[in-house]
Structure formats: structure tokens, C-alpha cells
């Protein structure tokens, strides 16, 4: 994979540009100014990714190798689709042989080799539809889901952690042995029950904050590597 490190501004655009539209709210002007001067935003445009989030996944993969050998990938909270773009490339997914399934309640433009479901992941029908769309057992479940923010830190944390927990249970139900699970979380403490669940089912569980995640952002990523498989569960049921 291409290394995500950024060596200067490769777009030819000047950094440090100011937004001078005085009719905009100050907060909106500041956000837009930060966005257009963000080197990851500029590099995403240059390299054809739909969002700067692509580099978060690439950086995590560079250190932890979660994309290597992946044959089928499920992308939760996929819009606008930069993680799905990477997933389709590494799996060799095509429209004739789809190996990537993506879901989001937001509308998402079509991507070659990606089956897109415009559906809330919490919909009871979502898991079955995702498995049908991906066409086999996934090696990697990605989740960039986050609940719409309310401005209340504790509430936002709890709502996003709920999505992370549901995604973790889904990953445990569908992953092939040796597979990996990566999910967005927020700083503020991952619930002990969720960590225990992942540690019981995966060989390694770590928190990651890639350099491309803005320093002021409270987001982090929870990575569970090396799914142990469901044989143990089957043995316990049989017993």
C-alpha cells in the first residue's frame, strides 16, 4: 500500500489560505478555512479518494497490516466511501465478482466493485443483507460509524460506543478465523464489557490514533486482530 505520510504540499495549492466571506458565521468560516488548508484533504483530492479518512485506514494498515491478504471486506458507516475504495482495491473486487459490501443511512455514490446498501445498520435486516452482498465470509469488518453529535460530550460518547458495540457483536458473528475488526470510538474510555468481549474473541486488542486524525478530535480507533473463530462457542453449545 502507498505510505500515507505527507511530505509537504503536493497539490500545488498554497497552505494558509483565509476565507474572507464575512456573510458566513465565524464558526463556519473557521471550519472551511481549516478544511481547505488541510494537507490530507488536498492529498485525498490529488490521489482520487473521496475523503481524507482514507489516510486513517492506510496509516493503521501500515503499522498493523490488517488489509494484507483480505479477500472480502464489510464497511459499516461507509459514506462517502474512501474506505470502500481502498477495500475494493486490496480485494480485487469488481462488479462481476463483488467482494466489498458497504452500508450507510446516507446516500452514497456508486463505486466499482462495491455493493452499497443505503440502510441504517441498526435495522434488523442489515446483517443478513450485508452478508448476502459481500458474497462470502469476510476477513475484515470496518466501522467508521458515529452517532450524530448533540454537543454534549458524554451523550455523544455513549451513542457512538453503542454503535461500536453492535458492530463488534456483528464482527464476531460473521468474521472468518484470523480476521480483523476496526471501529471508530471516542476518547473517554471504552466500556470494560466491550474490551472483555473483544479480548475473549481476538488475539490482540489495541487503541489507535493515526496521525491523520486531527489532533483536536476526540476520535480513536479500536482494533481487534486475529479472530479466534467460533469453534469454542460451538463446543460449549454442544456440551
- Among 14, 23, 63, 184, the one annotated catalytic: 184
Residues 129 and 104 in one domain: yes
Tell me if 169 sits within 8 A of 103, measured CB to CB: no
> Who's near 11: CB < 8 A, 6+ residues apart?
42, 43, 45, 46
Q: In terms of Cα–Cα distance, which of 110, 114, 115, 185 is closest to 144? A: 185
Residues 82 and 175 in one domain: yes
Q: Is residue 6 part of a domain?
A: no
Q: What is the pLDDT of residue 2?
A: 45
Q: Is residue 36 part of a domain?
A: yes
Residues 42 and 57 in one domain: no
Domain hosting residue 16, numbered range? 12-47
Q: Is residue 144 part of a domain?
A: yes
Tell me if 133 sits within 8 A of 95, measured CB to CB: no
Residues 21 and 55 in one domain: no
Residues 38 and 119 in one domain: no
Q: pLDDT tens across 88-107, in order?
A: 999 999 999 999 999 999 99
SS3 152: coil
Q: What is the pLDDT of residue 67?
A: 97
Residues 113 and 43 in one domain: no
Sites in the chain below the pLDDT cut of 70: 1-40, 44, 187-190, 214-216, 231-239
Q: What is the pLDDT of residue 160?
A: 83
Q: What is the pLDDT of residue 98?
A: 98
Q: What is the pLDDT of residue 147?
A: 81
Q: Is residue 43 part of a domain?
A: yes
64-99-102-185 Cα dihedral, nearest 10 degrees? -20
Q: Is residue 1 part of a domain?
A: no
Q: Cell match 480485494: residue?
A: 91
Q: Is residue 7 part of a domain?
A: no
Q: Is residue 75 part of a domain?
A: yes
Tell me if 221 sits within 8 A of 209, measured CB to CB: yes
Residues 61 and 42 in one domain: no
To 5 degrees, how large is the angle CA 35–CA 39–CA 41?
50
* CATH code of 162's domain: 3.40.50.150
Residues 187 and 214 in one domain: yes
Residues 217 and 171 in one domain: yes
**The three cell numbers locating residue 24:** 458566513
Residues 90 and 25 in one domain: no
Q: What is the pLDDT of residue 25?
A: 56
Beta carbons within 10 angstroms of residue 30's beta carbon = 12
Residues 172 and 221 in one domain: yes
Q: pLDDT tens across 21-47, in order?
A: 455 455 444 534 454 455 657 776 787
Q: What is the pLDDT of residue 146?
A: 84
Q: pLDDT tens across 4-24, in order?
A: 433 334 444 444 444 444 554
Residues 67 and 141 in one domain: yes
Q: How many domains does the chain have?
A: 2
Q: Is residue 105 part of a domain?
A: yes
Tell me whether residue 184 is one of the annotated catalytic residues: yes
Amino acid at each position: 500500500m502507498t505510505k500515507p505520510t505527507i511530505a509537504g504540499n503536493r497539490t500545488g495549492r498554497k497552505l494558509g489560505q483565509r476565507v474572507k466571506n464575512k456573510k458566513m458565521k465565524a464558526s463556519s468560516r473557521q471550519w472551511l478555512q481549516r478544511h481547505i488548508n488541510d494537507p490530507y484533504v488536498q492529498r485525498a483530492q490529488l490521489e482520487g479518494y473521496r475523503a481524507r479518512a482514507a489516510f486513517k485506514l492506510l496509516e493503521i494498515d501500515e503499522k498493523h497490516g490488517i488489509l494484507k491478504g483480505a479477500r472480502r471486506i464489510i464497511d459499516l458507516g461507509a459514506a462517502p466511501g474512501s474506505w470502500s475504495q481502498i477495500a475494493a482495491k486490496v480485494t480485487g473486487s469488481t462488479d462481476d465478482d463483488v467482494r466489498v459490501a458497504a452500508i450507510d443511512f446516507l446516500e452514497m455514490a456508486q463505486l466499482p466493485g462495491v455493493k452499497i446498501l443505503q440502510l441504517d445498520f441498526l435495522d434488523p435486516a442489515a446483517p443478513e443483507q450485508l452478508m448476502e452482498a459481500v458474497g462470502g465470509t469476510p476477513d475484515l469488518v470496518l466501522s467508521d460509524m458515529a452517532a450524530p453529535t448533540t454537543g454534549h460530550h458524554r451523550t455523544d460518547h455513549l451513542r457512538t460506543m453503542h454503535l461500536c458495540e453492535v458492530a463488534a457483536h456483528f464482527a464476531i458473528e460473521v468474521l472468518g478465523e484470523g480476521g480483523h475488526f476496526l471501529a471508530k470510538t471516542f476518547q473517554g474510555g471504552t466500556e470494560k464489557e466491550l474490551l472483555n468481549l473483544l479480548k475473549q474473541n481476538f488475539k490482540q486488542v489495541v487503541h489507535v490514533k493515526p496521525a491523520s486524525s486531527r489532533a483536536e478530535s476526540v476520535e480513536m480507533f479500536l482494533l481487534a486482530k486475529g479472530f479466534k473463530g467460533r469453534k469454542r462457542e460451538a463446543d460449549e453449545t454442544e456440551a
